[in-house]
């Protein structure tokens, strides 16, 4: 579907160019009409951008479930990054918020993005004012961290996937920068009660009653939407709702942005007609971000792929649709305009050695954090969302097996300090001492008018999020409802539980790396940022960890030596043809003689097209970014490949003649990669 811009949109593009010039060059000093006066009609300038961040769809271990058997075999929907640049029209101060359909944002990704932005824009964008966040989909390719723990299940580092993520984020920010135009901002909230469930209720129930009362049934049901309106039109939104992007299970091997990505797709593609291939400057952008989702599962029956149905694809669609519905239906409910300036702060803190002041601890006494360690229940995995667990380990007080205590005792006779600091957690793996994880971590605070976002590099439970919000609200002098925790931001430090939840030793507590007082430490850091922001003083950035980009060991998985078609065949030949006619609701399937998809990731493009004949031309109506298609790849012998493309004919599809095309790339023995195409026989659709 091609979305054509209106003349109003073209006019806005001209205004955007003038507004961008105002920010870069400064307002005209002379009196009378100017581009500056045009920009000053709104308090803010906002730009939006989307770009492709899809990694390797063949033989790449997937990020999230830590399951060695879960390796990519194609894609269902592409991963994308969505960026918003928000600037104060008067002062020129700006911030960037990015939501990427990836498992995590790692420090290496952030550093590479900031380096590219500096090369392109100088000091316009940097550590302080750029917030990079992840939807935390568990259905994307991994191997793009510079910390080795996260590349174990991918058998090493995947440079192509890393570059896809970095370059896509930079492209999205670049498009947002070029899209700046006067805008009005407002914030709306609604309640969404059937899209998440507390997967660690036993731990949640250990919290004080005053905290538990804030979350009936142990769930955070608040859906928050930042609205961007330009020339009176809704041009973009950022929605925050806490739920894991784990509707797709560890059994799935197709790349998917999961439920958050489906919500984005519905609003952009199905409702607003965005064409991701042709519309590099779309008329609408919808980011569905995370908040304090650490203990919030989309599997409503607390079993993997269970809830609302037993079908993981259907669950992805339903939960995504519910998030979309809540955001759109809540546009006018509890809505308020944002007023005030733009500001931001960031600090890097060594979480392995924070001295926590008494005002932030539950017992009113000073405490310390310690070197990162994973507990026994970490190895059990999250039983409600599935994946990665070892059968000898169980969630709970002793890891489910007396052997765990023996292992822990043997390992830590030489380090009683670490064992004592991490207590009552049974330490399984000292990932900090082994330099497997990041310990110097960023905490960020952004102010947009009177709305505050706390960028946390962790999976924050709902009560942990509440306590951080309270600390920041008090520090900046605002109401609690004006502060939101943005999880999965800028780096990754596993989970963040309250001290009370930590004692339960569930999966989330065992994955709280820096000991029982990690949350109080983060509260202290966030509150200090708020105090500095309120006083309008800068904070030292703090020491970052060493650049590890040169230390990466390339993974052998997914590497392509040579492609060859099946004997007697050519690349792109149809091995299995579709039927002659289909009706809406039926599935069309075509098998092609293919090649390894990692040869060319087709970023910004597609591996496939579903085309309808219109007159004498063929018109693309779907591609590999659409929900209705699936692209599956499999080896067929040593060097040959089979590519299966399916299309679920959507309701309302017009009757007519259709075909499916496949766009592949083959590698020769000399390493040359050459494109080819395959085209199915024509088939009919009768509605």
Relative orientation angle of helices 7-25 and 159-178, to the nearest 10 degrees = 90
User: How many Cβ atoms sit within 10 Å of the Cβ of residue 122?
Assistant: 9
Which residues are 183's β-sheet partners? 44
> Which residue's structure tokens are 């005792």?
409
Instruction: Please tell me the distance from the alpha carbon of residue 237 to that of residue 282, in angstroms, as a whole number.
Output: 13
> Which residue's structure tokens are 């900031």?
114
> Does the pLDDT at position 225 exceed 70?
yes
Structure tokens at 79: 């991963």
What backbone phi and psi angles, to 5 degrees, belong to 606?
-160, 150
Instruction: Please tell me the distance from the alpha carbon of residue 626 to that of residue 611, in angstroms, as a whole number.
Output: 13
Relative orientation angle of helices 518-535 and 462-476, to the nearest 10 degrees = 30
Instruction: Please tell me the distance from the alpha carbon of residue 351 to that of residue 368, in angstroms, as a whole number.
Output: 9
- Please state the rounded mean pLDDT for residues 411-419: 76
What backbone phi and psi angles, to 5 degrees, belong to 151?
-110, 10
Instruction: Please tell me the distance from the alpha carbon of residue 8 to that of residue 181, in angstroms, as a whole number.
Output: 13
Task: Tell me the CA distances in angstroms from 130 to 73, 97, 99, 444, one per residue in order.
Answer: 33, 6, 11, 9
User: How many Cβ atoms sit within 10 Å of the Cβ of residue 551?
Assistant: 10
User: How many Cβ atoms sit within 10 Å of the Cβ of residue 483?
Assistant: 25
User: Long-range contacts for 311-317 (Cβ within 8 Å, ≥24 apart)?
Assistant: 312/247, 312/248, 312/249, 312/251, 312/252, 313/76, 313/248, 315/247, 315/259, 316/247, 316/248, 316/256, 316/258, 316/259, 316/262, 317/262, 317/627
Q: What is the pLDDT of residue 623?
A: 98
Q: What is the pLDDT of residue 32?
A: 32
Which residues are 609's β-sheet partners? 623, 661
In the chain, domain spans: 7-347+439-535, 574-685
Which residues are 514's β-sheet partners? none
> Does the pLDDT at position 8 exceed 60?
no
- Predicted confidence band of residue 349 (pLDDT cuts 50, 70, 90): very high
> Does the pLDDT at position 370 exceed 70?
yes
Q: Count CA atoms within 13 Å of residue 232 on its CB side.
A: 1
pLDDT digits (tens, 9 = 90+) for 530-565: 999 999 999 999 999 999 999 999 999 999 999 999
Domain 574-685: CATH class, spelled out? mainly beta
What backbone phi and psi angles, to 5 degrees, belong to 26?
95, 155
Rounded percentage of the chain residues whose pLDDT exceeds 70: 90
> Does the pLDDT at position 391 exceed 90?
no
Which residues are 429's β-sheet partners? 374
Taking the CA atoms of 64, 65, 69 and 74 in sequence, report the sign of the dihedral they define.
negative
- Please state the rounded mean pLDDT for residues 287-306: 97
pLDDT digits (tens, 9 = 90+) for 94-114: 999 999 999 999 999 999 999
- Please state the rounded mean pLDDT for residues 323-337: 94
484-521 burial code (b ≥16 CB/10 A, e <16): bbbbbbbbbbbbbbbbbbbbbbbbbbbbbbbbbbbbbb
Query: What would the DSSP string read from start to end of 376-410?
Result: GGGGG--TTT--S--TT--SSTTTTSHHHHHHHHH
Dmax of the chain from CA atoms? 80
Instruction: Please tell me the distance from the alpha carbon of residue 129 to that of residue 454, in angstroms, as a whole number.
Output: 12
Structure tokens at 307: 């809830």
Structure tokens at 152: 């174990």
> Does the pLDDT at position 248 exceed 60?
yes
Structure tokens at 65: 């479930």
Cβ 628 vs Cβ 270: under 8 Å: no
Does this model's pTM top 0.85?
yes
User: How many Cβ atoms sit within 10 Å of the Cβ of residue 556?
Assistant: 9
3-state secondary structure of 255: strand
pLDDT digits (tens, 9 = 90+) for 654-681: 999 999 999 999 999 999 999 999 999 9
The residues annotated with a catalytic role in the active site are: 297
- Predicted confidence band of residue 402 (pLDDT cuts 50, 70, 90): low
Task: Tell me the CA distances in angstroms from 562 to 67, 73, 259, 263, 599, one per residue in order.
Answer: 28, 18, 36, 38, 10
Q: What is the pLDDT of residue 28?
A: 32
- Predicted confidence band of residue 312 (pLDDT cuts 50, 70, 90): very high
> Does the pLDDT at position 640 exceed 60?
yes
Instruction: Please tell me the distance from the alpha carbon of residue 134 to that of residue 100, in angstroms, as a whole number.
Output: 5
Instruction: Please tell me the distance from the alpha carbon of residue 644 to that of residue 664, in angstroms, as a whole number.
Output: 12
Instruction: Please tell me the distance from the alpha carbon of residue 342 to that of residue 528, in angstroms, as a whole number.
Output: 18
> Which residue's structure tokens are 């291939």?
277
Closest CA to 320 of 253, 384, 255, 265: 265
Q: What rounded mean pLDDT belongs to the chain?
A: 91
What backbone phi and psi angles, to 5 degrees, belong to 187?
-125, 130
């Amino acid at each position: 579907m091609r979305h054509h811009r209106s003349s109003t949109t073209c006019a806005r593009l001209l205004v955007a160019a003038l507004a961008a010039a105002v920010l870069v060059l400064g307002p005209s000093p002379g009196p009378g009409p100017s581009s500056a006066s045009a920009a000053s009609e709104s308090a803010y300038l906002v730009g939006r951008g989307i770009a492709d961040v899809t990694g390797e769809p063949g033989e790449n271990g997937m990020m999230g479930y830590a399951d060695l058997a879960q390796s990519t075999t194609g894609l269902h929907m592409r991963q994308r990054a969505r960026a918003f640049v928000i600037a104060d029209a008067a002062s020129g101060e700006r911030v960037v918020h990015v939501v990427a359909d990836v498992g995590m944002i790692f420090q290496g990704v952030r550093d590479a993005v900031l380096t590219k932005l500096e090369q392109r824009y100088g000091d316009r964008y940097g550590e302080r004012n750029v917030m990079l966040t992840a939807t935390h989909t568990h259905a994307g390719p991994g191997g793009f961290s510079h910390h080795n723990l996260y590349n174990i299940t991918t058998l090493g580092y995947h440079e192509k996937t890393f570059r896809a993520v970095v370059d896509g984020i930079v492209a999205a920010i670049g498009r947002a920068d070029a899209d700046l135009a006067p805008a009005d901002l407002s914030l709306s909230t609604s309640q969404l009660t059937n899209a998440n469930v507390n997967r660690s209720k036993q731990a949640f129930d250990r919290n004080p009653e005053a905290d538990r009362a804030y979350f009936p049934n142990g769930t955070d049901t608040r859906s928050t939407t930042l609205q961007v309106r330009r020339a009176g039109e809704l041009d973009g939104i950022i929605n925050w709702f806490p739920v894991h992007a784990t509707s797709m299970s560890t059994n799935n091997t197709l790349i998917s942005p999961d439920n958050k990505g489906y919500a984005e797709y519905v609003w952009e593609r199905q409702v607003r007609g965005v064409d991701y291939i042709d519309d590099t400057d779309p008329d609408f952008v919808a980011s569905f971000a995370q908040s304090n989702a650490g203990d919030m599962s989309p599997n409503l029956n607390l079993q993997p792929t269970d809830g609302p149905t037993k079908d993981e694809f259907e669950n992805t669609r339903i939960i995504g649709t519910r998030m979309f519905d809540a955001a759109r239906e809540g546009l006018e409910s509890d809505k308020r305009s944002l007023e005030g300036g733009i500001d931001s702060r960031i600090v890097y803190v060594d979480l392995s050695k924070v001295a926590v002041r008494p005002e932030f601890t539950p017992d009113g006494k000073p405490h310390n954090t310690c070197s990162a360690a994973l507990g026994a229940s970490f190895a059990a995995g999250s039983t409600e969302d599935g994946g990665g667990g070892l059968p000898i380990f169980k969630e709970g007080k002793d890891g489910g097996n007396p052997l765990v205590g023996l292992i822990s005792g043997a390992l830590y006779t030489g380090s009683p300090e670490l064992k004592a600091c991490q207590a009552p957690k049974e330490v399984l793996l000292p990932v900090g001492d082994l330099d497997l994880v990041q310990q110097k971590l960023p905490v960020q605070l952004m102010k947009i008018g009177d709305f505050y976002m706390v960028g946390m590099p962790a999976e924050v439970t709902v009560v942990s999020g509440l306590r951080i919000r309270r600390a920041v609200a008090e520090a900046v002098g605002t109401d609690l409802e004006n502060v939101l925790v943005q999880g999965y931001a800028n780096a990754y430090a596993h989970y963040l539980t309250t001290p009370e939840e930590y004692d339960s030793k569930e999966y989330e507590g065992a994955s709280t790396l820096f000991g029982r007082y990690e949350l109080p430490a983060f509260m202290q850091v966030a509150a200090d940022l708020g105090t500095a922001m309120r006083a309008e003083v800068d904070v030292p950035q703090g020491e970052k960890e060493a650049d590890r980009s040169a230390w990466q060991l390339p993974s052998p998985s997914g590497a392509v030596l040579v492609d060859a078609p099946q004997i007697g065949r050519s690349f792109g030949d149809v091995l299995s043809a579709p039927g002659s006619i289909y009706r809406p609701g039926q599935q069309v399937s075509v098998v092609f003689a293919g090649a390894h998809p990692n040869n060319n990731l087709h970023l910004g493009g597609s591996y496939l097209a579903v085309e309808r004949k219109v007159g004498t031309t063929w018109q693309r109506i779907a591609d590999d970014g659409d929900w209705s298609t699936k692209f599956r790849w499999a080896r067929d012998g040593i060097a040959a490949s089979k590519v299966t493309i399916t299309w679920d004919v959507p309701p309302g599809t017009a009757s007519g003649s259709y075909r499916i095309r496949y766009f592949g790339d083959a590698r020769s023995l000399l390493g040359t990669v050459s494109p080819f195409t395959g085209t199915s026989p024509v088939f009919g659709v009768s509605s």
